[in-house]
Amino acid sequence: MQFSAVQIALLINGKVEGNAEITVSTFGKIEDANVGELAFLANPKYEDYLYHTHASIIIINETLELKHPISATLIRVPDAYTAFAELLDKYQQIRNQQLTGIQQPAYVDATAKIGNQVYIGAFAYIGEKVIIADGVKIFPSAYIGNNVVLGENSIIYPGVKIYHHCIIGKNVVIHAGSVIGGDGFGFAPQPDGTFIKVPQIGNVIIEDNVEIGSNATIDRATIGSTLIKAGAKLDNLLQIAHNVEIGNNTIIAAQAGISGSTKIGNNVMIGGQVGIVGHLQIADGSKINAQSGVSKSIKKANTAVTGSPAYDYTASLRSQAMVRCLPEMEKRIQQLEKLVKELLISNTKKD
């Protein structure tokens, strides 16, 4: 597919500087892009490449002042990074629209309801009474269990498993290998040291515009629903336990684990390898640094914490600074102790 500079500018509400009819057919990094490719510049560290790149079209911030003349056509926008992301999203949507129909072999139960412009890849399994809305793309080897609902334009990548009765909203993206709705980790200890499994009869609800990375696991609720609210973005290799709630537009980085029944607020940012124990409340806007262990609720909005156990981020930095000073402080204390001892001996002799 080829697009001209003027077509791209219309897609991202940009202004063209240069040849508006020049076309590109693919994307490239600004440092090594070739003729016929589109690049972008958002980070000032890469500005020098702007004057040497072979890219045909470059998206830049509207405030950038050129230091040297360039040969490429420019598209100026308020935020080059955001505009480039929007353009890639539109490009991917165009490619996905070309995917339609049911490949064979695939199993689609006779009771399933399939919308328009749906794609179901080979070796996919679609269970009883599944509802698949318009524009959904289900890639090969995906499993969609009985009574699952998939909202409009959602994308289910290869090998995703969605267990029975789970509900997926509109424009949700679930990447390869993720498991939605597996049993929560519920076992009742017995006097003899054994465990009895607690049946997990709830489901998972994922609201609109959520994206879930590869090989993430979101467990179904014991009773009720594990809930991922609209706009949340979850990275690869996450463990979200039963009855957890993740708030709107919350971001969780890779390898984090959220224990059962914890409620995470809106616009929370959770770094990689964070562990959060069960039955906690994490306030809106909280920021949890990577590898932190959260053992108590965060009740004040917009609080930043770090460490294990996690506590106030600024206080933690002060503590770290103090720890680095401990060897010098020990040396000074020893010198002071020596001086005090000498003074006591001197005063004793005078007496």
Comparison of pLDDT for 150 and 98, the residue scoring more: 150
Contacts 24+ apart (CB under 8 A), 83-86: 83/12, 83/13, 83/14, 83/40, 83/59, 84/40, 84/42, 84/59, 86/11, 86/12
> Is it the case that residue 342 has pLDDT exceeding 90?
no
Q: Report pLDDT for 56.
A: 96
Q: Report pLDDT for 343.
A: 84
> Is it the case that residue 73 has pLDDT exceeding 90?
yes
> Is it the case that residue 97 has pLDDT exceeding 80?
no
Mean pLDDT taken over the chain = 94
**If you average pLDDT over residues 149-170, what whole number do you get?**
98
Q: Report pLDDT for 279.
A: 97
Between CA 6 and CA 12 the distance in angstroms is 10
Q: Report pLDDT for 311.
A: 67
172-222 pLDDT tens trace: 999 999 999 999 999 999 999 999 999 999 999 999 999 999 999 999 999
Comparison of pLDDT for 192 and 98, the residue scoring more: 192
Q: Report pLDDT for 318.
A: 78
4-45 pLDDT tens trace: 999 999 999 999 999 999 999 999 999 999 999 999 999 999
- Specify the CATH class of 3-97 in words: alpha beta
Q: Report pLDDT for 348.
A: 74
Between CA 282 and CA 269 the distance in angstroms is 11
Closest to 160 (Cα-Cα) out of 184, 182, 144: 144
Q: Report pLDDT for 351.
A: 62
Q: Where in the chain is the domain with CATH 2.160.10.10?
A: 160-309
Between CA 28 and CA 31 the distance in angstroms is 8
Specify which residues 287 forms β-bridges with: 269, 304
Beta pairing, strands 275-276 & 257-258: parallel
Take residue 164 and report the two structure tokens written for it.
Answer: 């029975």
Q: Report pLDDT for 95.
A: 78
Q: Where in the chain is the domain with CATH 3.40.1390.10?
A: 3-97
Report which DSSP code applies to 146: T
Q: What's domain 160-309's architecture?
A: 3 Solenoid (2.160)
**Catalytic annotation on 242?**
yes
Closest to 185 (Cα-Cα) out of 220, 214, 213: 220
Most confident option among 90-94, 271-275, 311-315: 271-275
pTM: 0.83
Closest to 8 (Cα-Cα) out of 88, 63, 62: 88
Q: Say which of 52, 175, 242, 279 is annotated catalytic.
A: 242
Residue 253: count of CB within 10 angstroms of its CB: 20
Between CA 186 and CA 226 the distance in angstroms is 14
